Amino acid sequence: MANLLYPASTGHYVDDKYSPLLEPNLFANNVFQPGLTFTDKYQTGPAGQIFVHKPGTGTVTATVPGADFNETVVQDSLITISLNKQFNRARKMYGATVASVAYNTAASEMETAIQEVKEAWNLEAASEIVSAEGVNVLSDISNETAANTIYDYIVDARQALRANKANPDTVIVSPTTYGKLLKSDEFQRAVDLDNQVVRDAYVGRIAGLNVFEYEDLGSVDENITNANGEANDDITWDSDNDSLEFIVYDHDALSIVTSVNVAGVFDGMPRYNGVTCNVEIVSGFKLTNADRAILKIHDNSASTADNL
């Protein structure tokens, strides 16, 4: 960087000074929160895998009063949650650097490391829903939502899950979809919310669902399967042209458990003069029931899909 002259070319060199303030980096929202967008109820202590029993169900039919019980054994099943995803980051700083700048390098590096790990962790959570075997997809994938249709699509998604006897309570949307919600007439004419929608870009709930905007929704795993758990040949997701518009699901069906959650600043001696800011999370992600989630995808190359 060239030193500045005042006036230019004929004057005196001015001193350089670095601001002790930092320009923040941009990260996606920490959208996955326990009890809100996922459940951690299976967090039971030290484990590498957690097995959850799922009772089987049968059908009861009416009989005449006084009839004997019809005894039957209904087999259960096991759901496995493997703690098999590790996210770690170590940011190294030499002592000479720490002593030569005006800002708190350790605090800055630690904060950035945490943000980097959180961003990867949230992306994995969203990918678990999208790539889960048997996850449902709204059939109208050839059409993109618009401000005047977004409400209808979300209602259709909720209806499809309710038909499966699920209880959806959450919708995660892309920034583009969130923008369409803000323009939706359903919100503009809502007496108790119209000022917040227009003034604060606030969309809290829609069709009985909590709304969350997630900037990285378009970066999730693109392994889409149909309702039978098979690769869906009707969906050829081209990330450059196609988009994942929203996910509707029951937050209690997305289980995340964590066995390691460490963050600290460690001395680099005797290996080197300096410190490292280390962050590590080991978690397991599981959509425990694919019938409790549904995706809305816009696929330019598709006309129909064999889904809900």
Which domain, by its residues, includes 276? 49-54+73-298
Is 38 part of any domain? no
CATH classification of the domain holding 220: 3.90.1690
Is 303 part of any domain? no
Is 7 part of any domain? no
pLDDT at position 307 is 46
Is 44 part of any domain? no
CA 236 to mean position of chain CA atoms: 22
Q: Higher confidence at residue 261 or residue 203?
A: 261
Is 307 part of any domain? no
Q: Looking at the predicted structure, is the pLDDT value of residue 306 above 90?
A: no
* Mean pLDDT value across residues 169-181: 92
Q: Which tokens go with 188? A: 């503009």
* Mean pLDDT value across residues 118-135: 89
Q: Is 150 helix (H, G, I), strand (E, B) or coil?
A: helix
* Mean pLDDT value across residues 277-306: 82
pLDDT at position 17 is 56
Q: Which tokens go with 254? A: 């997305």
Beta bridge mates, 87: 281
pLDDT band for position 105 (50/70/90)?
confident
Whether the Cβ atoms of residue 246 and residue 171 lie closer than 8 Å to each other: yes
* Mean pLDDT value across residues 180-202: 63
Q: Which residue, among 25, 24, 4, 29, has the nearest Cα to 15 in the 3D structure?
A: 4
* Mean pLDDT value across residues 178-186: 85
pLDDT at position 172 is 94
Number of domains observed in the structure of the chain: 1
* Structure-token match 């009063």, residue found: 65
* Mean pLDDT value across residues 222-250: 64
CA distances from 135 to 74, 162, 263, 293 (A): 25, 15, 34, 6
Is 33 part of any domain? no
Is 42 part of any domain? no
Is 196 part of any domain? yes
Q: Higher confidence at residue 234 or residue 274?
A: 274
* Mean pLDDT value across residues 193-206: 60
pLDDT band for position 197 (50/70/90)?
low
